[in-house]
Amino acid sequence: MENIKLSELFGKNVFDDKVMRERLPKSTYKQLHKTIDEGLELDPSIADVVANAMKDWAIEHGATHFTHWFQPMNGRTAEKHDSFLSPTSDGRVIMEFSGKELIKGEADGSSFPSGGLRQTFEARGYTVWDCTSPAFLKEDISGVALCIPTVFYSHTGEALDKKAPLLRSMQVIEQASLRVLRALGDHKSNKVISTVGAEQEYFLVDKRQYQQRRDLIFTGRTLFGAMPPKGQEMEDHYFGSIKEKIGKFMREIDIELWKLGVPSKTKHNEVAPAQHELAPIFATSNVASDQNQLVMETLQKVANRHDLACLLHEKPFKGVNGSGKHDNWSLVTDTGKVLFSPGKQPKDNLEFLVFLSAIIESVDKHADLLRLSAATAGNDHRLGGNEAPPAIISIFLGESLTEMLYHVARGEDGDSFTKEVMEMGVATLPKLKKEVADRNRTSPFAFTGNKFEFRMFPSSGCVSEANVIINTIVADTLNKFAEELEKSEDIQRTIKHIVRHTLRDHGRILFNGNGYSEEWVEEATRRNLPNFTSTVDVLPALISEKSIDLFGRNKVFTEVELHSRYEIMVEEYYKTLNIEARTMLNMAKTQIMPAVLNYMTQVAQNVSIMTSLGQFNIDPQSELLGELNRLFNGLKKSIDALEEAHTSTIQICDGLEKAKAFREKVLPEMEALREVADALETIVDEKIWPIPTYSELLFRV
Which residues make up the interface to Mg ion (CB under 5 A)?
326
Q: In this complex, which beta carbon is closest to ligand ADP, that of residue 250 or of residue 279?
A: 279
Q: Which does 282 bind (CB under 5 to 8 A by kind): Mg ion, ligand ADP, none?
A: ligand ADP
Kindly state the smallest distance separating residue 326's Cβ from Mg ion, in Å. Answer: 4
- The one-character DSSP state at 61 is T
What is the C-alpha to C-alpha distance for residues 504 and 486, in angstroms, rounded to an integer? 22
Q: In this complex, which beta carbon is closest to ligand ADP, that of residue 288 or of residue 562?
A: 288
**Which residues share a beta bridge with 517?**
none
One-letter identity of residue 174: E
**Which residues share a beta bridge with 150?**
129
Q: In this complex, which beta carbon is closest to ligand ADP, that of residue 281 or of residue 422?
A: 281
Q: In this complex, which beta carbon is closest to ligand ADP, that of residue 192 or of residue 498?
A: 192
Kindly state the smallest distance separating residue 280's Cβ from ligand ADP, in Å. Answer: 6
What is the C-alpha to C-alpha distance for residues 184 and 478, in angstroms, rounded to an integer? 12
Q: In this complex, which beta carbon is closest to Mg ion, that of residue 355 or of residue 454?
A: 454
Q: Which does 477 bind (CB under 5 to 8 A by kind): Mg ion, ligand ADP, none?
A: none
What is the C-alpha to C-alpha distance for residues 226 and 667, in angstroms, rounded to an integer? 18
If 0-12 CB within 10 Å is exposed, 13-18 middle and 19+ buried, where does residue 288 land?
buried
Kindly state the smallest distance separating residue 472's Cβ from ligand ADP, in Å. Answer: 17
Kindly state the smallest distance separating residue 181's Cβ from ligand ADP, in Å. Answer: 16
Kindly state the smallest distance separating residue 321's Cβ from Mg ion, in Å. Answer: 14
What is the C-alpha to C-alpha distance for residues 161 and 404, in angstroms, rounded to an integer? 42
- The one-character DSSP state at 588 is I
Q: In this complex, which beta carbon is closest to Mg ion, that of residue 281 or of residue 688?
A: 281
Which residue number has the CB closest to Mg ion?
A: 326
State the first-to-last Cα distance of the chain, in angstroms, to the nearest integer.
21
**Sequence-separated (6 or more) residues with CB below 8 Å from residue 620:** none
Q: In this complex, which beta carbon is closest to Mg ion, that of residue 463 or of residue 584?
A: 463
Kindly state the smallest distance separating residue 453's Cβ from Mg ion, in Å. Answer: 5
Kindly state the smallest distance separating residue 340's Cβ from ligand ADP, in Å. Answer: 8
What is the C-alpha to C-alpha distance for residues 370 and 368, in angstroms, rounded to an integer? 6
The contact set with ligand ADP (CB under 6 A) reads 195-197, 199, 266, 279-282, 328-330, 332, 338, 450-451, 453
Kindly state the smallest distance separating residue 357's Cβ from ligand ADP, in Å. Answer: 19
Asked if residues 460 and 312 have their Cβ atoms less than 8 Å apart, the reply is yes
Kindly state the smallest distance separating residue 295's Cβ from ligand ADP, in Å. Answer: 11
For 217-244, give one letter per residue: b (16+ CB within 10 A) or e.
Answer: ebbbbbbbbbbbeeebeeeebeeeebee
Kindly state the smallest distance separating residue 238's Cβ from ligand ADP, in Å. Answer: 11
The packing angle between helices 667-681 and 619-650, to 10°, is: 160
Q: In this complex, which beta carbon is closest to ligand ADP, that of residue 179 or of residue 455?
A: 455
Q: In this complex, which beta carbon is closest to ligand ADP, that of residue 332 or of residue 568?
A: 332
If 0-12 CB within 10 Å is exposed, 13-18 middle and 19+ buried, where does residue 119 land?
exposed
Asked if residues 53 and 45 have their Cβ atoms less than 8 Å apart, the reply is no
Q: In this complex, which beta carbon is closest to ligand ADP, that of residue 129 or of residue 329?
A: 329
Which residue number has the CB closest to ligand ADP?
A: 197
Q: Where are the beta strands (DSSP E) in 122-175?
A: 124-129, 136-140, 143-154
Asked if residues 93 and 112 have their Cβ atoms less than 8 Å apart, the reply is no
- The closest of 654, 382, 668, 389 to 535, measured between CA atoms, is 382
Give the DSSP per-residue string, 284-310.
Answer: EHHHHHHHHHHHHHHHHHHHHHTTEEE
Asked if residues 376 and 572 have their Cβ atoms less than 8 Å apart, the reply is yes
Q: Where are the beta strands (DSSP E) in 344-501?
A: 395-396, 445-447, 452-454
Output the CA torsion sign for 483, 486, 492, 494: negative
Kindly state the smallest distance separating residue 281's Cβ from ligand ADP, in Å. Answer: 4
Q: In this complex, which beta carbon is closest to ligand ADP, that of residue 280 or of residue 398?
A: 280
**Which residues share a beta bridge with 152?**
127
